[in-house]
Amino acid sequence: MTVSDALKSRRSIRAFLPQEVDETTLKALLAAAAHAPSGGNLQPWEVAVVTGRAKLELDAKIAAVFAQGGKPVPEYAYYPRTWREPFKLRRLECGKQLYDALKIVRDDKAGQRAQWGANFRAFDAPVLLLFLVPGQMEKGAFVDMGIFLQSVMLAALDHGLSTCPQAAFTEYAALIKEHLGYPADHVLIAGMAVGYADLSAPVNQYRTPRAPVSSFTRFFGE
């Protein structure tokens, strides 16, 4: 598989087989991803690998808070506070594709909330990766982490694994850091579901579109 093929074939998977992922495989893909570049070679990423009983305990703790219905407090603002096009439409269309695949209609608020809650179980994937940067880092570390996240997802393909990056976990960053014993000043950038895709699941049947190069690129030359 070429790098271009990997980039095109990677997609966010939201239903996984119950097959476990062995620790050796996880270490191998993280070792490959660690070759990602970073400013000044700071390598500011830290990764929590949560599986087995530890994952079930964290799932249950987040689910209990989620069920209370309180408004979560994200670690940082991921989306813009004021929406404009084409971003607003892209987000709406992305959500529509998801709910159409799951046959969740627009007025089914309970179904939508249940699907949102599945985020916090990492869609029942056997592995949850959580990505953090130390508190003293600045926004440049977010750039480094983004490169590292993509490297993890591409390395996972080499091992027949599928992934879904999840910023949703930042909504429960304080709970997660306390539960896992990370310093409060660390910034939880994202989570990631990792496992073997259930390709028969309807939620894994659709692909989100990509804008053409001409829509986001300007060439400057002679």
Strand pairing report for 162-166 and 187-195: antiparallel
List the CATH number of the domain containing 16.
3.40.109.10
pTM of the model: 0.95
Per DSSP, 72 falls in state P
Q: Domain for residue 194, yes or no?
A: yes
Task: Please tell me the predicted confidence (pLDDT) of residue 73.
Answer: 87
| Residues sharing a CB contact under 8 Å with residue 3, sequence separation 6 or more, in sequence order | 154
Task: State which residues form the domain around 11.
Answer: 3-78+120-201
Q: How far is CA 162 from CA 155, 156, 174, 198, in A?
A: 10, 7, 27, 9
In this structure, is residue 7 part of a structural domain?
yes
Count: domains in the chain: 1
- Identify whether 178 is part of a domain: yes
Instruction: Write down the pLDDT at residue 124.
Output: 97
Tens-digit pLDDT profile for the chain (222 aa)?
A: 899 999 999 999 999 999 999 999 999 999 999 999 999 999 999 999 999 999 999 999 999 999 998 788 899 999 999 999 999 999 999 999 999 999 999 899 999 999 999 999 999 999 999 999 999 999 999 999 999 999 999 999 999 999 999 999 999 999 999 999 999 999 999 999 999 999 999 999 999 999 999 999 999 997
Whether residue 138 is contained in a domain is answered as yes
Provide the pLDDT for residue 106.
87
**What pLDDT is recorded for position 69?**
86
- What radius of gyration, in Å, describes the C-alpha atoms of the chain? 18
User: Is residue 149 within 8 Å of residue 165, measured between CB atoms?
Assistant: yes
pLDDT at 88: 96
Minimal CA–CA distance to 205: which of 14, 7, 5? 14
- pLDDT of res. 222: 79
Is there a domain that residue 107 lies in?
A: no
Q: Is residue 34 part of a domain?
A: yes
Q: Which residue has the tokens 């940082």?
A: 76
Residue 186 lies in a domain: yes
193 DSSP β-pair partners? 128, 164
What is the per-residue pLDDT for 103?
93
